[in-house]
Amino acid sequence: MNKEVRHLTNIEELSVDEIDDLIKVANDIIANPNKYKDKCNGKILATLFFEPSTRTRLSFESAMLRLGGNVLGFSEANSSSVAKGESLSDTIQVVGGYADIIAMRHYKEGAPLVACNKSSIPIINAGDGGHNHPTQTLTDLLTINREKKRLNNLVIGLCGDLKFGRTVHSLITAMSRYKNIKFILISPKELELPEYVKKEVLEKNNIEYIETNNIEEYMSRLDILYMTRVQKERFFNEADYIRLKDYYILDKNKLKNAKDDLCIMHPLPRVNEISTDVDNDPRSKYFLQAKYGVYIRMALILKLLEVK
């Protein structure tokens, strides 16, 4: 890995202080957007999306445009040289000559490490298969910080696909570094949080957690309810996907015992797991969360490009 260039492949590469700084900058951007509108004049962000994504790609592009920079890239592998058989290493070295920073999504896990080893410019991992998605975690942390005014003393319910859901694993890892965090893990047996996350993150850090398959059982205790989608693309067997995809559907009735200041989050896209009748509930923050994703990515781009 090029030591002089700072990349972000995994949320753990950022210290708690660095995350605090990013949140501080993002909050300042929200308060004073004009201050930042020309910060990246003349800079180019390459969005290399080997796997389709609407939200992440557009939020990166919006972030760079709002900083006064420019954007180029592709939105699926078929429209890149990968379709001609080019290796990731070669693509990265070529794009390094065209742009100042890269946001990359790849369907293969570990692809960002390969990219970082070859890149002369900062790489931001915008998701690698079911592995890491650090900017989603940063988005989640900014949302929690803004909506709850703290990142400690929280009871966090994680609901849905806790097995393949990379956002869940990253969020648990990130939140385990803050004080007095408790997790309620809500999932069907087949989609339970993997043992290694329980052992190597939760138990190692003495984080209290409860596992249940009942979404309403601990609803009244939650400060945050983080819903997730059962992702079709993570299943090899379609029958399993069909059986599990609608296991949880959050509706107004299920929220009847929830706290008034509950914060309902979702990394989006949503399919059926949150009923649209919840959208108007003031506790629903998932669309706001998507918006916050732009500001934290702006803060991250500034940090990695070392723009003051």
Partner 1 sequence: MNIDTIKNGYVIDHITSGNAMKIYELLELGKLDCQVAIITNAKSKKSGTKDIIKVGELINLDMDKLAYIDSNITINVVKNDKIIEKKKLTLPEKLVNVCMCNNPRCITSTEKELDQVFILTDKERNIYRCIYCETKLNKN
> Rounded to an integer, what is the distance from CA 112 to the centroid of its chain?
15
| C-beta of residue 127 within 8 angstroms of C-beta of residue 166 | yes
What whole-number distance in Å separates Cα of residue 170 and Cα of residue 37?
Answer: 30
| C-beta of residue 20 within 8 angstroms of C-beta of residue 137 | no
Least distance CB 106 / partner 1 (angstroms): 7
84 as an active site residue: the answer is: yes
Closer Cβ to partner 1, 109 or 240, answer by number:
109
Which residue's structure tokens are 């015992």? 257
Closer Cβ to partner 1, 81 or 89, answer by number:
89
How far the first Cα of the chain sits from its last, in Å, is 24
Closer Cβ to partner 1, 77 or 210, answer by number:
77
Could you say which of 56, 91, 135, 167 is catalytic? 56
Least distance CB 9 / partner 1 (angstroms): 10
Instruction: Count CB-CB contacts under 10 A for residue 61.
Output: 20
Q: Which of 190, 189, 161 is nearest to 267 (CA)?
A: 161
What whole-number distance in Å separates Cα of residue 122 and Cα of residue 5?
Answer: 6
Give the footprint of partner 1 on this chain (CB under 8 A).
Answer: 87-89, 106-111, 113-114, 128-131, 196, 200
55 as an active site residue: the answer is: yes
Least distance CB 129 / partner 1 (angstroms): 5
Q: What's the order of all strands across the beta sheet hosting 123-128?
A: 70-74, 44-49, 101-106, 123-128
135 as an active site residue: the answer is: no
| C-beta of residue 272 within 8 angstroms of C-beta of residue 232 | no
Q: Encoding tokens for residue 132?
A: 């890491």
Least distance CB 131 / partner 1 (angstroms): 6
| C-beta of residue 99 within 8 angstroms of C-beta of residue 45 | yes
What whole-number distance in Å separates Cα of residue 179 and Cα of residue 278?
Answer: 30
What whole-number distance in Å separates Cα of residue 93 and Cα of residue 234?
Answer: 29
Could you say which of 43, 105, 131, 182 is catalytic? 105
Closer Cβ to partner 1, 4 or 196, answer by number:
196
Closer Cβ to partner 1, 109 or 251, answer by number:
109
Closer Cβ to partner 1, 12 or 216, answer by number:
12
Least distance CB 221 / partner 1 (angstroms): 32
- Residue 6 buriedness (CB in 10 A; 0-12 / 13-18 / 19+): middle
229 as an active site residue: the answer is: no
Could you say which of 7, 43, 133, 182 is catalytic? 133
Least distance CB 104 / partner 1 (angstroms): 12
Q: Please identify every residue annotated as catalytic.
A: 55-56, 84, 105, 133
